[in-house]
Amino acid sequence: MDIHEYQAKDLLKKFGVNVPRGGIAYSPEQAVYRAQELSGERVVVKAQIHSGARGKVGGVKICSTDDEIAEAATWMLGRKLVTHQTGPQGKLVGRLYIEEATDIAQELYLGFVMDRTEERVVVVASAQGGMEIEDISANEPGSIIRSVVDPAVGMQAFQAREIAFQLGLEPGLIPQAVKQITGAYRAMDEMDAAMLEINPLVVTKSGEIVALDAKLSFDANALFRHPEISELRDKSQEDPRETYAEDRGLNYIGLEGHIGCIVNGAGLAMATLDMIKMSGGEPANFLDVGGGASPERVLMSFKAVLNDPKVEAILVNIFAGINRCDWIAEGVVRAVKELNLTMPLVVRLSGTNVDEGRKVLAESGLDITTTETLAEAAEQVVAAWKATGNPSTTAEAAQ
Same domain, 324 and 245: yes
Would residue 5 count as lying in a domain? no
Tell me if 179 sits within 8 A of 204, measured CB to CB.
no
pLDDT at 291: 67
Of the candidates 170, 203, 236, which is a domain's last residue?
236
Same domain, 126 and 163: yes
Would residue 290 count as lying in a domain? yes
Same domain, 253 and 386: yes
Per-residue pLDDT tens for 264-306?
888 999 999 999 999 999 999 999 987 667 888 899 999 999 9
- Note if 109 is an active site residue: yes
Same domain, 58 and 113: no
Residue spans of the chain under pLDDT 70 = 291-292, 390-399
Same domain, 226 and 286: no
Would residue 11 count as lying in a domain? no
- Note if 197 is an active site residue: yes
Would residue 324 count as lying in a domain? yes
Annotated binding site for Mg(2+): 199, 213
Q: For residue 269, what are the CA distances in angstroms to 252, 290, 319, 349?
A: 11, 11, 10, 14
Catalytic residue among 5, 6, 97, 109: 109
Name the CA dihedral angle for 52, 57, 59, 62, rounded to a multiple of 10 degrees. 110
The number of distinct structural domains making up the chain is 3
Catalytic residue among 6, 97, 197, 252: 197
Using N-to-C axis directions, what is the helix angle for 5-13 and 174-190, rounded to 10°? 110
Per-residue pLDDT tens for 320-358?
887 789 989 999 999 999 999 999 999 999 988 999 999
Q: What is the CATH number of the domain that holds 212?
A: 3.30.470.20
pLDDT at 235: 85
Annotated binding site: 46, 99, 102, 107, 199, 213, 264
Would residue 69 count as lying in a domain? yes
Angle of CA points 178, 190, 136, to nearest 5° = 55
What φ, ψ does residue 96 adopt, rounded to 5°? Answer: -125, 155
Per-residue pLDDT tens for 107-124?
999 999 998 888 899 999
Output the pTM of the full model.
0.77
Would residue 79 count as lying in a domain? yes
Same domain, 78 and 117: no
Same domain, 306 and 247: yes
Same domain, 275 and 362: yes
The residue range of the domain holding 227 is 104-236
Tell me if 373 sits within 8 A of 348, measured CB to CB.
yes
Same domain, 346 and 366: yes
